Structure 1
Amino acid sequence: MKSILLVEDQGIVRQGLKMMIEQDSSLKVVAEAGNGNEAIGKMESYAIDLIVMDIRMPEMNGIESTRIIKKKWPNVKILILTTFNDDEYALQALKEGANGFLLKTAEGEELIQSIHSCLSGGMTIHHEVAAKVVPKLLSHQKEPQTPHPLTPREVTITGLIGQGCTNKEIAEKLFLSVGTVKNHISQILQKLELRDRTQLAIYAVKNDIA
């Protein structure tokens, strides 16, 4: 069972989200927080697999807390869940290490699917936001091409990560074991001096590898 931390400043919304998430028997909301500061405190006390995080909250917002949490607990997955259809919010959140960005207009089934996608190494961006974020990544924020130290196999894997593929999907496409894919990704992150898979996905898009 995967442990979920729910970070949302409105208690009624938290209750609804908890009920929705726990309809999936493999997911359990083990802790709740009303802002980013509380979320960091909960991370000190619980073993968390994934955080469902709002953006606009008192004391500390979701983007700032994502940055701090990802530095201290780089392996935890963070799914941003917000009412704000704002591409700048999405870009900031992804840059800070968020593994997904979903709007509260999404159906419950989509929330569950997004949680599982993040947990398995994928990256979910709500279609309404993706329509604005992806072109911005491709054009306005594109970085100049620079030589990179990746092997052809590593370039292929980086491209598939940029397309949102999970480790299992990459393994199936390349006829590799999931363990081999994980080893390749660790080497790629080390070579490119990137923190996590989300940063690698953004790197792939910016450098036309995806």
Structure 2
Amino acid sequence: MMARVLIADDHPIFLDGLAHFLKSHQHEVICCSRTAKDAILKVESEAPDVLVLDVTMKDGGGLAILTAVREAQNPVPAIFLTVGIAPEKTVEALKLGVNGIVLKEGDPFELLNCIDIVLRGETWIDPRVSEKALLYSVVSGGKSAKDGALTEREREITNLIRRGLRNREIAQRCGLTEGTVKVHLHSIFQKLGVKSRAELIVNTMD
């Protein structure tokens, strides 16, 4: 699925290489911003289909850009591409409505896959990132009061979702069919008052 992409990163060589990589895979890179300020302006003027944002930039980075974009009521899908992100920043990003988080050390095709996923209206967070966020929530004592309404099996599935596992992987881990996992997910979402995996992670970290 071809997309009009805005990239923001303050490392020129990396920025140029990423732009060429995306162009070589049928995406249209409409803007390469080296500052958060420029990226925020270009999001408004160029109307990209998806944002690929470095988390750490000299003038704010991905969180600053995403905050400004969401305050402007712009729902454009946003992906953080980063060397690393602190667990508390992951929670903040999810609350702001980030759609994907990809690590720079990963396979480049993970970014392409993430772009396809967020363009379908779904969320993809690197499992290594979601796992650290989960550990942070446990250590900090974050837990939804609604967790008590979940059955033991639902709590097990919730923990696997927090670790980044997909339905097929959860089914294999729990000895269930994918259909049964979907039934459990429907029940979990209803009990916790959430509509997506990302919302579930945020809900159980508050």
**Structure 2 length as normaliser, TM-score?**
0.69
Question: Match of 1:117, as an amino acid?
Answer: I
Distance 1:29 1:58, change over 3 A: same
Does residue 5 of structure 2 align to residue 13 of structure 1?
no
- TM superposition shift of 1:59: 2.1
Structure (1 or 2) with the larger CA radius of gyration = 2
Root mean square deviation of aligned Cα: 3.5
Question: Match of 2:13, as an amino acid?
Answer: I
Question: Match of 1:16, as an amino acid?
Answer: G
- TM superposition shift of 1:16: 0.9
Does residue 193 of structure 2 align to residue 202 of structure 1?
no
87-96 or 134-143, which deviates more: 134-143
- TM superposition shift of 1:74: 3.2
Distance 1:113 1:48, change over 3 A: same
Identify unmatched segments of 5+ residues in structure 2: 148-157, 167-178, 181-189
Query: Are 1:50 and 1:78, in contact at CA under 8 Å, matched by a contact in 2?
Result: yes
SS in 2 for 1:76: coil
Partner of 2:150: none
Distance 1:198 1:22, change over 3 A: farther
Partner of 2:187: none
SS in 2 for 1:130: helix
Does residue 120 of structure 2 align to residue 126 of structure 1?
no
- TM superposition shift of 1:139: 7.0
Partner of 1:89: 89
SS in 1 for 2:7: strand
Does residue 43 of structure 2 align to residue 43 of structure 1?
yes
Partner of 2:110: 110
Query: Are 1:67 and 1:97, in contact at CA under 8 Å, matched by a contact in 2?
Result: no
Question: For the residues of structure 2 that align with 1:54 and 1:198, how far apart are their CA atoms?
Answer: 23
- TM superposition shift of 1:137: 4.3
Deviations 1:128-149 (A, max 9, x none): 2222113444674222229xxx
Deviations 1:39-86 (A, max 9, x none): 111012112111000011122322122111122143201100111243
**Structure 1 length as normaliser, TM-score?**
0.68
Question: For the residues of structure 2 that align with 1:131 and 1:118, how far apart are their CA atoms?
Answer: 20
130-139 or 54-63, which deviates more: 130-139
- TM superposition shift of 1:205: 4.5
Distance 1:137 1:144, change over 3 A: same
Question: Match of 2:49, as an amino acid?
Answer: D
Matches within 5 A, 1:19-98: 19-25=20-26, 27-98=27-98
Identical columns (%)? 24
- TM superposition shift of 1:197: 6.0
- TM superposition shift of 1:6: 0.2
Question: Match of 2:9, as an amino acid?
Answer: E
Question: For the residues of structure 1 that align with 2:138 and 2:48, how far apart are their CA atoms?
Answer: 33
Question: Match of 1:120, as an amino acid?
Answer: R
Query: Are 1:77 and 1:98, in contact at CA under 8 Å, matched by a contact in 2?
Result: yes
5-14 or 127-136, which deviates more: 127-136
Partner of 1:155: none
- TM superposition shift of 1:91: 2.1
Question: For the residues of structure 2 that align with 1:110 and 1:21, how far apart are their CA atoms?
Answer: 12
Question: For the residues of structure 2 that align with 1:31 and 1:93, how far apart are their CA atoms?
Answer: 22
